[in-house]
Amino acid sequence: MGKKVYPLGKIKRKWAYTIDEICDLYGNRKLHPQTVRGWIKKGLPTIDKKKPTLIFGSELHQFIGTMNASGKVKTEFHEMFCMKCQDARKPYKKEMQVELDRDFLRAKAICSECLSTMNKSYKKDDYTKLKLFFRTVAVLGLYDSTASTVNTHLGHTEAVPVNESLQMEMF
Protein backbone atom coordinates (compact mmCIF):
# COMPACT_ATOMS: atom_id res chain seq x y z
CA MET A 1 0.00 0.00 0.00
CA GLY A 2 1.24 3.49 -0.83
CA LYS A 3 2.15 6.27 1.49
CA LYS A 4 -0.75 8.42 2.71
CA VAL A 5 -0.87 12.06 1.69
CA TYR A 6 -2.56 14.42 4.14
CA PRO A 7 -4.18 17.56 2.66
CA LEU A 8 -2.92 20.82 4.13
CA GLY A 9 -6.09 22.87 3.58
CA LYS A 10 -7.72 21.58 6.78
CA ILE A 11 -5.03 22.95 9.09
CA LYS A 12 -5.56 26.36 10.70
CA ARG A 13 -2.10 27.88 11.07
CA LYS A 14 -2.92 30.09 14.04
CA TRP A 15 -4.48 27.27 16.03
CA ALA A 16 -2.99 24.96 18.65
CA TYR A 17 -3.99 21.30 18.23
CA THR A 18 -3.99 18.37 20.61
CA ILE A 19 -3.16 14.92 19.30
CA ASP A 20 -6.83 13.94 19.30
CA GLU A 21 -7.81 17.09 17.38
CA ILE A 22 -5.23 16.26 14.71
CA CYS A 23 -6.73 12.78 14.45
CA ASP A 24 -10.18 14.34 14.08
CA LEU A 25 -8.89 16.58 11.26
CA TYR A 26 -7.92 13.50 9.29
CA GLY A 27 -10.66 11.18 10.50
CA ASN A 28 -11.50 10.13 6.95
CA ARG A 29 -7.88 8.92 6.58
CA LYS A 30 -8.13 6.93 9.82
CA LEU A 31 -5.19 8.72 11.45
CA HIS A 32 -4.28 7.03 14.73
CA PRO A 33 -2.95 8.97 17.76
CA GLN A 34 0.11 6.73 17.82
CA THR A 35 0.95 7.93 14.30
CA VAL A 36 0.95 11.55 15.53
CA ARG A 37 3.17 10.54 18.47
CA GLY A 38 5.52 8.95 15.93
CA TRP A 39 5.59 12.26 14.02
CA ILE A 40 6.59 14.00 17.27
CA LYS A 41 9.46 11.53 17.68
CA LYS A 42 10.51 12.21 14.06
CA GLY A 43 10.68 15.96 14.69
CA LEU A 44 7.21 17.52 14.83
CA PRO A 45 7.74 20.27 17.42
CA THR A 46 5.36 20.62 20.38
CA ILE A 47 4.64 23.81 22.35
CA ASP A 48 5.97 22.43 25.65
CA LYS A 49 6.49 19.15 27.46
CA LYS A 50 3.28 19.42 29.50
CA LYS A 51 0.08 17.41 29.10
CA PRO A 52 -1.99 17.62 26.95
CA THR A 53 0.51 17.76 24.12
CA LEU A 54 -0.12 20.87 22.01
CA ILE A 55 1.16 21.51 18.49
CA PHE A 56 1.00 24.79 16.60
CA GLY A 57 -0.95 24.62 13.36
CA SER A 58 1.87 26.37 11.46
CA GLU A 59 4.36 23.74 12.65
CA LEU A 60 1.94 20.92 11.75
CA HIS A 61 1.37 22.47 8.31
CA GLN A 62 5.11 22.68 7.63
CA PHE A 63 5.81 19.14 8.91
CA ILE A 64 3.01 17.50 6.90
CA GLY A 65 3.93 19.54 3.80
CA THR A 66 7.52 18.28 4.01
CA MET A 67 6.32 14.74 4.65
CA ASN A 68 3.95 14.85 1.63
CA ALA A 69 6.68 16.20 -0.67
CA SER A 70 9.23 13.58 0.38
CA GLY A 71 7.32 10.77 -1.35
CA LYS A 72 7.06 12.44 -4.74
CA VAL A 73 9.16 11.35 -7.72
CA LYS A 74 9.96 13.79 -10.51
CA THR A 75 9.72 12.33 -13.99
CA GLU A 76 11.33 13.67 -17.13
CA PHE A 77 9.24 14.29 -20.25
CA HIS A 78 10.25 10.93 -21.72
CA GLU A 79 9.64 8.99 -18.46
CA MET A 80 6.53 7.75 -16.68
CA PHE A 81 5.98 6.72 -13.07
CA CYS A 82 5.60 2.98 -12.53
CA MET A 83 3.39 2.13 -9.56
CA LYS A 84 4.89 -1.35 -9.20
CA CYS A 85 8.55 -0.25 -9.32
CA GLN A 86 7.77 2.98 -7.40
CA ASP A 87 10.16 4.93 -9.63
CA ALA A 88 10.39 6.80 -12.93
CA ARG A 89 10.82 4.40 -15.86
CA LYS A 90 11.01 4.57 -19.64
CA PRO A 91 8.26 2.88 -21.64
CA TYR A 92 8.92 -0.55 -23.12
CA LYS A 93 10.14 -0.28 -26.75
CA LYS A 94 9.36 3.48 -26.56
CA GLU A 95 5.73 2.74 -27.42
CA MET A 96 2.65 4.33 -25.94
CA GLN A 97 -1.06 4.68 -26.48
CA VAL A 98 -2.41 8.24 -26.49
CA GLU A 99 -6.00 9.32 -25.86
CA LEU A 100 -7.44 12.82 -25.99
CA ASP A 101 -9.38 13.66 -22.83
CA ARG A 102 -10.83 17.18 -22.91
CA ASP A 103 -7.83 19.55 -22.79
CA PHE A 104 -5.03 17.06 -22.17
CA LEU A 105 -3.55 13.84 -23.50
CA ARG A 106 -3.73 10.65 -21.49
CA ALA A 107 -0.78 8.39 -22.26
CA LYS A 108 -0.57 4.69 -21.40
CA ALA A 109 2.56 2.57 -21.75
CA ILE A 110 4.23 -0.57 -20.40
CA CYS A 111 7.13 -0.38 -17.94
CA SER A 112 10.45 -1.49 -19.40
CA GLU A 113 11.48 -3.14 -16.09
CA CYS A 114 8.44 -4.97 -14.71
CA LEU A 115 6.07 -4.87 -17.74
CA SER A 116 3.19 -3.33 -15.76
CA THR A 117 0.95 -0.55 -17.09
CA MET A 118 1.99 3.09 -16.56
CA ASN A 119 -0.10 6.23 -17.07
CA LYS A 120 0.80 9.89 -17.49
CA SER A 121 -0.94 13.07 -18.59
CA TYR A 122 0.51 15.53 -21.08
CA LYS A 123 -0.62 18.88 -22.43
CA LYS A 124 -2.52 18.79 -25.69
CA ASP A 125 0.18 20.92 -27.37
CA ASP A 126 2.88 18.35 -26.48
CA TYR A 127 1.63 15.79 -29.00
CA THR A 128 4.24 16.69 -31.64
CA LYS A 129 6.99 16.52 -29.01
CA LEU A 130 5.66 13.13 -27.88
CA LYS A 131 6.02 11.78 -31.42
CA LEU A 132 9.74 12.68 -31.31
CA PHE A 133 10.35 10.57 -28.20
CA PHE A 134 7.82 7.77 -28.62
CA ARG A 135 6.14 5.65 -31.22
CA THR A 136 2.42 6.05 -30.74
CA VAL A 137 0.80 2.64 -31.13
CA ALA A 138 -2.78 3.85 -30.90
CA VAL A 139 -4.21 7.33 -31.03
CA LEU A 140 -7.75 7.47 -29.69
CA GLY A 141 -9.98 10.49 -30.12
CA LEU A 142 -7.46 12.75 -31.82
CA TYR A 143 -9.58 13.30 -34.91
CA ASP A 144 -11.50 16.47 -35.66
CA SER A 145 -14.63 15.64 -37.55
CA THR A 146 -16.87 18.38 -38.88
CA ALA A 147 -19.34 15.96 -40.47
CA SER A 148 -22.11 14.66 -38.31
CA THR A 149 -22.42 10.89 -37.86
CA VAL A 150 -26.18 10.97 -37.47
CA ASN A 151 -26.88 9.75 -41.01
CA THR A 152 -24.28 6.99 -41.07
CA HIS A 153 -24.88 3.30 -40.55
CA LEU A 154 -23.50 3.45 -37.01
CA GLY A 155 -26.33 3.19 -34.55
CA HIS A 156 -28.89 3.47 -37.33
CA THR A 157 -31.69 0.94 -37.13
CA GLU A 158 -34.57 0.77 -39.52
CA ALA A 159 -38.02 0.40 -38.05
CA VAL A 160 -39.60 -2.78 -39.34
CA PRO A 161 -43.37 -2.34 -39.78
CA VAL A 162 -45.33 -4.87 -37.80
CA ASN A 163 -48.09 -6.66 -39.65
CA GLU A 164 -51.57 -6.24 -38.08
CA SER A 165 -52.24 -9.97 -38.16
CA LEU A 166 -49.07 -10.58 -36.16
CA GLN A 167 -50.14 -7.99 -33.63
CA MET A 168 -53.41 -9.82 -33.02
CA GLU A 169 -51.60 -13.10 -32.45
CA MET A 170 -49.60 -11.55 -29.62
CA PHE A 171 -52.66 -11.01 -27.46
pLDDT tens-place string over residues 104-116: 888 889 998 888 8
pTM over 0.85: no
Classify 93 as helix, strand or coil: helix
Flag whether 102 is in a domain.
yes
Flag whether 145 is in a domain.
no
Give the largest Cα separation in the chain, rounded.
Answer: 93
Classify 71 as helix, strand or coil: coil
- At 171, is the pLDDT very low, low, confident or very high (cuts 50, 70, 90)? very low
Same domain? For 50 and 97 the reply is: no
> Which domain covers residue 34, as residue numbers?
16-70
Flag whether 166 is in a domain.
no
Quote the percentage of the chain above a pLDDT of 70.
79
Flag whether 120 is in a domain.
yes
Q: Is the pLDDT of residue 1 over 50?
A: no
Same domain? For 127 and 85 the reply is: yes
pLDDT of residue 15: 94
Same domain? For 57 and 100 the reply is: no
* 86-143 residue pLDDT tens: 888 999 888 888 888 778 888 889 998 888 889 888 888 888 888 888 887 776 644 4
Flag whether 20 is in a domain.
yes
- At 169, is the pLDDT very low, low, confident or very high (cuts 50, 70, 90)? low
Same domain? For 42 and 66 the reply is: yes
Cα–Cα distance measured from residue 98 to residue 35, given in angstroms and rounded to the nearest whole number: 41
pLDDT of residue 73: 78
- The count of structural domains within the chain is 2
pLDDT of residue 39: 95
Same domain? For 133 and 85 the reply is: yes
Flag whether 169 is in a domain.
no
Same domain? For 53 and 96 the reply is: no
Sequence-ordered list of residues with C-beta below 8 angstroms from that of 74, at least 6 positions apart, any chain: 88
Sequence-ordered list of residues with C-beta below 8 angstroms from that of 83, at least 6 positions apart, any chain: 116, 118
Flag whether 61 is in a domain.
yes
